[in-house]
Amino acid sequence: MHGSCDIGIIGMAVMGQNLALNIARKGFQVAVFNRTASRTDELMKRVEKESIVPTYTLKEFVASLKKPRKAMLMVKAGAAVDEFIDKLLELLEPGDLIIDGGNSFYQDTERRIKKVEKQGLLFLGTGISGGEYGALHGPSIMPGGHEEGYALVKEIFEKAAAQVEDGPCCTYLGPRSAGHFVKMVHNGIEYAFMQAIAEAYDLLRKAYRLSSEAIGKIFEEFNQSEIASYLIEITAKIFKVSDPETRKPLVELILDQAEQKGTGKWTSQTAFDFGVPTPVINQSVIARTISSFKQERVQFASLWKNKEAAPINFDEQHKEKIKDALFVSMVVAFSEGLHLLKVASQEMQYGLSLPEVVRIWKGGCILRARMLNQIQQALQNGEGEILLFSPTFLNEIQRRTPKLREIVALSIEKEIPASVLSTSLAYLDSWKSENLPANLIQAQRDFFGAHTYQRVDKEGVFHTIWEE
């Protein structure tokens, strides 16, 4: 089978296996390799009529690929990626293509593309979203790097990607680290959605004392509304699953410690670097971090006497309030992420098309949501740098924000933390404040550090000796 495979995939964890099967089922021949041979054998047991060629050394893997060779890494982000790139550089030739399909930090991709270029090879840093199911049935694929490298895999990627009414959920995003940057921001927005949904759940169970079954039905209804999305859909499904031993809803038996792989944190850190405010994304990262301190939370809770308030009667009005609160927080999270992408695209010279970014998020990925159609339309119409200011959303946000305010007030009254919902509100209130108290901060800075200030009544830069 030497030199007959259209593409090769290294890394046969579930994502790698599923992506290999997906590509093979689209009519391509795929070579596979895993450091541990048993993983490769595991995949071959799943193979039926698919054209998948198992290889057991990197030399054999490279030999099985058609020229120019296309080798895709589906390994854990970090050292493993560098290790495999080094090994492949010894075996590949100029004009061959290396694709990193993992969740790599964009600055690592910047470094790697330079290294690969020096040897005359092509490189794509490619974000892939959709989890195990998406990898098998059609993910959202976000490639960036050498455009001529994308040309080599365009047909493969676009056939393997999820398909929506306006095309495959894959497009060439831009040079160097553009693909991994877009995927990082995608994941930051995802963190914010997940936390907002979790806070809505917390209010439903604590303030209204609803059962998991009742909460599941509410999320089912939400998924028929304007906030319909993959994350709302899976939330409704989670509440239906019972633990076989105890017959209790399984979600109630899961320890309240949320883990993270770092992409949300990278989004926050990068937003600070670019000077873009992303408080809702930042707060979602902080909320996960606080959740990890379970022992300390239990200890601190024992020192407080939390009020045992009577439950509130839940009705259609309350349901609408929570839906409106989620709608606003979703728009805010998208707005923050797209603002960061716009600024980064200018500074990094990615040349991102934001309508295209949103289009490829409409299917296959974790962020897919009904409102993306409206967001895509707003961006195509050139409606402002920040989504919140868009005529498409402005009236909707103005109409729903009072409901978000009521939900935040309820969370404060009932002592239920709702940090993403309340930060969404504070973020909106900041943007719509013609005057913020930053004048006092600037005065303080001038007082202790002679940092100067500008005035509202005349031109120039001023410094005051505030204390003789």
DSSP 257: -
The active-site residue, picked from 190, 323, 403, 414, is: 190
| Residue 183 falls in the annotated catalytic set | yes
Pair of tokens at residue 3: 């030199």
| Residue 217 falls in the annotated catalytic set | no
Cα–Cα distance, 424 to 333 (Å, whole number) = 8
276, 281, 283, 284 alpha-carbon torsion, rounded to 10°: -170
Percent helix, strand, coil in the chain, to 5, is: 55, 10, 35
CB of 57 closer than 8 Å to CB of 32: no
CB of 375 closer than 8 Å to CB of 334: yes
Cα–Cα distance, 359 to 332 (Å, whole number) = 18
Pair of tokens at residue 321: 């309030």
Cα–Cα distance, 225 to 449 (Å, whole number) = 53
Looking at this protein, which amino acid is placed at residue 369? A
Pair of tokens at residue 80: 């493993």
- 200 Cβ contact list (under 8 Å, min separation 6): 322, 325, 326, 421
The active-site residue, picked from 183, 265, 323, 403, is: 183
- 138 Cβ contact list (under 8 Å, min separation 6): 22, 130, 160, 161, 162, 163, 169, 363, 364
User: Which residues form the catalytic set?
Assistant: 183, 190
